[in-house]
Amino acid sequence: MSFFSQLIGTGSAFPEKVMTNADFESFVETSDEWIRTRTGIHTRHIADIRKGESTSSLAIAAAKKALEMAKLSGKDLDLIVVGTVTPDSVMPTTGNLLQAALGAERAFSFDLQAACSGFLYGLSIADQFIRTGAVQTALVIGAETLSTLINWQDRGTCVLFGDGAGAAILTRTSDPEHSILGTRLYSDGTKGDILKIPHGGAKVPHYLPEYRHKDHSIHMQGSEVFKLAVRNMIDASMAVLADHHLTPEDVDFFLFHQANVRILEMCMKTLKVPREKTWINLDRYGNTSAATLPVCLDEAWRQGAIKTGDRVLMATFGGGVTWASGLIRL
Ligand code: COA
């Protein structure tokens, strides 16, 4: 008997505090007008770490909503995968914090680092475990508090990112039609320098004299990232469609990583995606890295933009660099 993975629940969560473009004008040379027109971002949510908001608290809130939609409890989970580059701690993992908070006694859990591609990497891994029969039900999370890795003096990056979490529940089905049809995952370490966080890991830890706090933050060559993100998201989208002998016309809805509205527009133009067949929320949230796709999925599903039977294509690009695509039939 063949197994497949069916999507049965989604959820999302954001910190309370909203930061507007105008808020940046007091500490970097920028303007609401520049940020809106060059990125499409209007506001973003920023975690208040001192009040206990963190990657795990957002992930837990998103997971609870997804479990509620799926009519399951933590006890039903066999696997928890968390895509994040901002775990609360290296040990325990965010996955383990979730496992404890959700009472997911029988689940094994782990974090994976694939930057903005973390959710699709996690979805693909969970899908493989379900297809082998090893796992029945999995929770896949993309959750970030990138605000903790921002150089607030760098106007080229600080305006772009926000905090948030998205969650998805997959469960085993024998129906190949309504399932994750396929995923494509890619990496290219030779281009790692265009989007990186150089210090703060085990190579340059905080106690070495060469450690610089401003290097323990996001460093980005914006225009290089822009070009590669467009090209790779289009290529990955076409590749996963080709695997299934499909074209963009066969897709009901497209979800692209939310980094810059101009990147989205270029992907939409090349793939001939009309505005009504995609979800854009980066105006409200900015780039929430691994969280953008599950949040889009959650909002689009709950608000009826996607429905049972729809083919949904997702594509992403992330630092390091990584990129991925995924095709789901709801
Ligand atoms: N406010 C005002 N000016 C800004 C600014 C800001 N927040 N950020 C950059 N600028 C300035 C630059 O300093 C530069 O000034 P200069 O010409 O005097 O040197 C000018 O705007 C143009 O910079 P450039 O980098 O060419 O702008 P851009 O149109 O490419 O937009 C990004 C910059 C970062 C918005 C854009 O490159 C981008 O979105 N890249 C991809 C980001 C991304 O997707 N990251 C995550 C991937 S997962």
Rounded Cα gap, residues 119 and 83, in angstroms: 5
Rounded Cα gap, residues 8 and 257, in angstroms: 21
Q: Taking residues 200-224, report their average pLDDT.
A: 96
- Residue with the smallest CA separation from ligand 1 atom 31 is 38
Task: Indicate if the alpha-carbon torsion angle 276, 281, 286, 292 is positive or negative.
Answer: negative
Q: How far is the CA of 200 from the centre of ligand 1 (A)?
A: 25
Break the chain into its structural domains and give their ranges.
4-173, 180-329
**Percent share of the chain, pLDDT over 90:** 100
Rounded Cα gap, residues 259 and 40, in angstroms: 9
Confirm whether 4-173 and 180-329 share one CATH topology.
yes
pLDDT at residue 1, rounded to an integer: 84
- Residue with the smallest CA separation from ligand 1 atom 19 is 156
**Contact present, 293 and 233 (Cβ < 8 Å):** no
At residue 72 the predicted structure's pLDDT band, cuts being 50, 70 and 90, is: very high
257 is catalytic: yes
296 is catalytic: no
Q: Which residues line ligand 1 (CB under 6 A)?
A: 30, 34-35, 38-39, 116, 155-156, 159, 220, 222-223, 225-226, 229, 259-260, 263, 287, 317-319
Q: What are the tens digits of pLDDT across the range 288-315?
A: 999 999 999 999 999 999 999 999 999 9
| Fold of the domain built from segment(s) 180-329 | Peroxisomal Thiolase; Chain A, domain 1 (3.40.47)
Helix axes 94-102, 55-70, angle to 10 degrees: 50
**Contact present, 297 and 240 (Cβ < 8 Å):** no
Rounded Cα gap, residues 143 and 119, in angstroms: 8
| Fold of the domain built from segment(s) 4-173 | Peroxisomal Thiolase; Chain A, domain 1 (3.40.47)
Rounded Cα gap, residues 112 and 324, in angstroms: 14
Q: How far is the CA of 156 from the centre of ligand 1 (A)?
A: 5
Q: What tokens does 298 get? A: 């959650």
Query: Coil, strand, or helix at residue 152?
Result: coil
Rounded Cα gap, residues 330 and 327, in angstroms: 10
Task: Indicate if the alpha-carbon torsion angle 301, 141, 160, 321 is positive or negative.
Answer: negative
Residue 104 has pLDDT above 90, yes or no: yes
96 is catalytic: no
Residue 154 has pLDDT above 90, yes or no: yes
Q: What are the tens digits of pLDDT across the range 264-276?
A: 999 999 999 999 9
Q: Taking residues 68-89, report their average pLDDT.
A: 98
